[in-house]
Amino acid sequence: MSKAIIGRKVGMTQLFAEDGKVIPVTVVEAGPCPVVQVKTQETDGYVALKLGFLPEKEKNLTKPELGQFKKAGVEPCKVLKEVRLDSVEGYNVGDKVLADVFKAGDKIDASGVTKGHGYTGVIKRWNQHRLKETHGVGPVHREPGSMGANSTPSRVFKHKHLAGQYGVENVTIQNLEVVRVDTARNAILVKGAIPGPKGSVVTLKTSVKSK
């Protein structure tokens, strides 16, 4: 059965395994996430849960947003996300999904919005090489290089790696491992790095391609 929870990336640290190996982990403040709506195959055509995260003042929400929380009898939340699951049996509106939904050793997929880098050049954005710093090359050495033939096709092909906006993309990293779950602090420690800067909202879900 698939499981999911919404959390906030706190930062990275490290743990020591029993054999002395260092394990880099990302700390995620996971939940509590109240269930705002339960979607079923019969009523909605698919199975999903609508979860809230982080308390929010009523004045900061629109009337449609506030109406969803009042209908569910749940305190307003800053984040409202829908997560698809295999089954929603056992979930009811008003229930809270806590960090203990996962346990150490579980394989998960972490989704988030990557850190924004603004308008960047081809070296930072696409990991391209510099031009040769010799006579006859330049005066710019970090430019993208040749754009292709000028007569035919007389244009730059689509999808060519050029400078532009880098970051702020929805990214999912698959098959990460849960190292530890701290129910007292509502924290899940995930092995490795996950997308997004510190303080960003992430979604942890049971891995769809578990090895």
Over residues 176-185, the pLDDT tens digits come to 999 999 988 9
Each residue's pLDDT tens digit, 82-107: 999 888 888 888 888 898 899 988 99
Neighbours of 31 (CB within 10 A): 24
* pTM, 2 dp: 0.83
Give yes or no for a contact between 187 and 30, defined as CB atoms under 8 angstroms apart.
Answer: yes
Tens digits of per-residue pLDDT, 95-153?
Answer: 888 988 999 889 999 999 999 999 999 999 999 999 888 888 878 888 888 888 888 88
Instruction: Tell me which residue of 167, 178, 175 sits closest to 7, measured CA to CA.
Output: 178
Task: State both tokens at 130.
Answer: 């510099």
Question: What is the predicted pLDDT for the residue at 148?
Answer: 83
Peptide bond preceding 76 in cis form (omega within 30 of 0): no
Greatest Cα-to-Cα distance within the chain, rounded to the nearest angstrom: 72
Q: What are phi and psi of 194, to 5 degrees?
A: -130, 160
148 alpha carbon, distance to own chain's centre: 37
Domain ranges of the chain: 4-115+170-206, 117-166
With beta carbons less than 8 A apart as the criterion, state whether 196 and 114 touch. yes
Q: Is 35 helix (H, G, I), strand (E, B) or coil?
A: strand
d(CA 4, CA 125): 32
Cβ-contact 124, 162 below 8 angstroms: no
Q: What is the CATH number assigned to the segment(s) 4-115+170-206?
A: 2.40.30.10
Q: 3-state DSSP call for residue 136?
A: coil
DSSP letter (8 states) at residue 93: T
